[in-house]
Amino acid sequence: MKISAFKISRFSLLLREPLIIGRHHLTHRTGLIIELGADNGHVALGEISPLPGLSREDLTEAESQIACLRSRVIGHDLPDGLQELSGGFETWLKGYDLAPSVRFGFETAVLNLVAAMRGVPLRKLISDSPRDWISINCLLTGPPDRIMEKTVKLLKKGYLAFKLKVGRNPIREDIEITRDVKRLIGDDATLRLDANRAWDMDHALAFAKALADAKIDYIEEPVKTFALLKQLMDEMVSMPLALDESLLELAPEDLPSLSKIKAIVLKPTLLGVEKAIRFARSAAAIGMTPVISSAFESGVGLEVLAQVAASANRRDVPAGLDTLDWFDQDLLVDSPKIERGRLQIAKLPDPGKGLRHDLLQAICDD
């Protein structure tokens, strides 16, 4: 199969409220949509949306890289075996030194082309036993009264998995709101925590000790560095740990040496799809749970993440894909819909048939 067309467009979507990531206060989510066409008539989309504060590349760099890649691959055949996600993309693209967000967008567009040619959805290209639905882990952030109000509302809607942001307030307040949320949702619902590397060792240990009886599923990245996290593994026995930011410093082959970690939170926009899948497979092989999570992509990227999440685990593992609520509008006419805390993957629309072209600015158009 040959890439016969390669379109690139920019987008900027207004957020309902500012998204604060480190020093970055985002009012809009910006990115690129690529549209690949094959000589057999199939078309597929990919999203490139580096996230300020987390991605090491910015949108200008991403745009330059994808434009350069476009000039090199258009008119050429796709290598065989890319769908195996076992190093084929790395071999093909290693000379281009692509940033993770660019890899994510291009890899997903290529994989969707291959899936379309074979007449299967992306999840069935990745796995021989994918799920048709996934549970959604909803994000809780903001002042305590707002967190509690949102939790009550989502419980009524059928959600049974929640992720609470901690580390932005005094530790006593974080302990209190964690207890309040856990008391509200009970033991039949899952509560995860994310500290985004906010604490030193003493604060992390004090937090874990105070909540030793709270039945927390795990806490992501409680301390400031991966070096500190490795020290914490031997001491923090009362609360399971998960990796997120630390994955940027690791390779999938490193996971077996981190057996005390319960879960890894995979954001393919920050890793690339092939690397994220390799991490997921390595984790599953040693009993570590891979959790697919969004980096605030539009519906185009989110549909891909849902397909990846449906193929990453044989059992239901709630995925962090509830971020479309942050957007004032989406690039898709029919955005992914969460019902009763679940996303039915089989019902996801074809993004190529419902793309909001009025929200796109073409920069390379065949």
CATH of the domain at 268: 3.20.20.120
Q: Does 93 reside within a domain?
A: yes
At 222 the pLDDT is: 96
Residue 137 pLDDT > 70: yes
At 352 the pLDDT is: 57
Residue 280 and residue 221 share a domain: yes
CA-based nearest residue to 101, from 249, 269, 266 = 269
| Distance (Å, whole) CA 116 – CA 110 | 10
Residue 100 and residue 165 share a domain: no
Domain ranges, residue 14: 3-120
Residue 322 pLDDT > 60: yes
Last-in-domain residue among 63, 89, 120: 120
Give the pLDDT mean for 301-314: 94
Which of 364 and 181 is assigned the larger pLDDT? 181
Range from 145-154, 216-225, 340-349 carrying the lowest mean pLDDT: 340-349
Instruction: Note the pLDDT tens digit of each residue in 118-127.
Output: 989 999 999 9
Longest dimension (CA), the chain: 61
Give the pLDDT mean for 242-251: 95
Give the pLDDT mean for 311-316: 92
Q: Which residues pair with 325 in a beta bridge?
A: none
Last-in-domain residue among 85, 120, 155: 120
Residue 83 pLDDT > 60: yes
Q: Which residues pair with 14 in a beta bridge?
A: 28
At 346 the pLDDT is: 61
Neighbouring residues of 243: CB distance < 8 A, sequence distance ≥ 6: 220, 221, 229, 250, 258, 261, 263, 264, 265
Residue 235 and residue 114 share a domain: no
The answer to whether 32 touches 11, Cβ cutoff 8 Å, is: yes
Q: Does 137 reside within a domain?
A: yes
Mean pLDDT (the chain) is: 93
Last-in-domain residue among 77, 100, 120: 120
The answer to whether 135 touches 341, Cβ cutoff 8 Å, is: yes
Residue 161 and residue 310 share a domain: yes
Q: How many structural domains does the chain have? A: 2
Residue 131 and residue 112 share a domain: no
Residue 228 and residue 114 share a domain: no
Residue 337 and residue 205 share a domain: yes
Residue 130 and residue 278 share a domain: yes
Residue 264 and residue 115 share a domain: no
Residue 200 and residue 115 share a domain: no
Q: Does 365 reside within a domain?
A: no
| Distance (Å, whole) CA 141 – CA 54 | 18
At 236 the pLDDT is: 74
Q: Does 363 reside within a domain?
A: no
At 353 the pLDDT is: 62
- Indicate which CATH number applies to the domain containing 49: 3.30.390.10
At 235 the pLDDT is: 80
Residue 351 pLDDT > 60: no
Instruction: Note the pLDDT tens digit of each residue in 176-235.
Output: 999 999 999 999 999 999 999 999 999 999 999 999 999 999 999 999 999 999 999 888
Residue 151 and residue 296 share a domain: yes
Residue 105 and residue 51 share a domain: yes
Strands 360-364, 3-21: pairing kind:
antiparallel
